[in-house]
Amino acid sequence: MSNADLETKRIEVLKEVVPAITRLMILHHSSILPATVAEAVAAARALAVEPDIVEASYPDQFEQTFERAIGRGVNGMATMASPFLNFWRTQLIELATRHHLPSVWEAAAYVGDGGLLSYGPSFPDMFRRSAGYVAKILSGARPADLPVEQPIRFVLAVNLKTAKSLGIAIPPTLLARADEVIE
């Protein structure tokens, strides 16, 4: 599953949980490829949601960024996968909470920190699988001869405490599919 596919899936999951979302802040960092942002925009529009593309590159501007988006009528947030945004996740989750924005993130760690939802690759699974690569290289395999592998396990995480604070009832069908539920 490509990054663009994952961004699309995250938006679909958020819309499933909060069907009333009409304007979605798609938060990204400048390192995200324009084609990936375009896929997220297309995914939002396919779900009858108006995308509001917001670049977050300076932590001292996060507060104003959120306030401007809220002023434009944003009522949901999808955050694109980014090491920069991951580093600042605590502050971003706090802003989403303060502005009552249902949010979807790239990894379960965000949900553990108070984000509403996440959908993304299982990082522990990827780390375990990478050990096989290391073993092959240490046994003499040339790295250039090893195939590039995509993640094969994905994790859907839900924070019920955050859902309750936002007044959101998580559909039972989504809870049944969730790999991790925080209460």
pLDDT in tens, 62-97: 999 999 999 999 999 999 989 999 999 999 999 999
Highest mean pLDDT among 95-99, 125-129, 138-142: 95-99
Mean per-residue pLDDT over the chain, rounded: 91
Burial, 99: exposed, middle or buried (Cβ in 10 Å; 0-12, 13-18, 19+)?
A: middle
- What is the number of domains present in the chain? 2
89 and 136 in a common domain = no
Q: Answer yes or no: do 128 and 93 share one domain.
A: no
Please tell me whether residues 126 and 114 are part of one structural domain.
no
- Same-domain pairing of 167 and 142: no
Instruction: Supply the pLDDT for residue 1.
Output: 46
Q: Which residue has the higher pLDDT, 4 or 114?
A: 114
Count of positions (residues) in the chain: 183
Q: What is the pTM for the complete model shown?
A: 0.85
CATH number of the domain at 172, please. Answer: 3.40.50.2300
Q: What is the pLDDT of residue 162?
A: 97
**What range does the domain containing 23 cover?**
3-121+154-182
* 49 in the same domain as 127: no
Q: Are residues 50 and 72 in the same domain?
A: yes
Residue 47 β-bridge partners:
none
Q: Do both 35 and 70 map to the same domain?
A: yes
pLDDT band at 135 (very low <50, low <70, confident <90, very high): confident
Q: Are residues 91 and 28 in the same domain?
A: yes
Q: How confident is the model at residue 2 (pLDDT cuts 50, 70, 90)?
A: low
- Whole-number Cα distances in Å, 22 to 79, 102, 106, 118, 126: 16, 12, 21, 20, 35
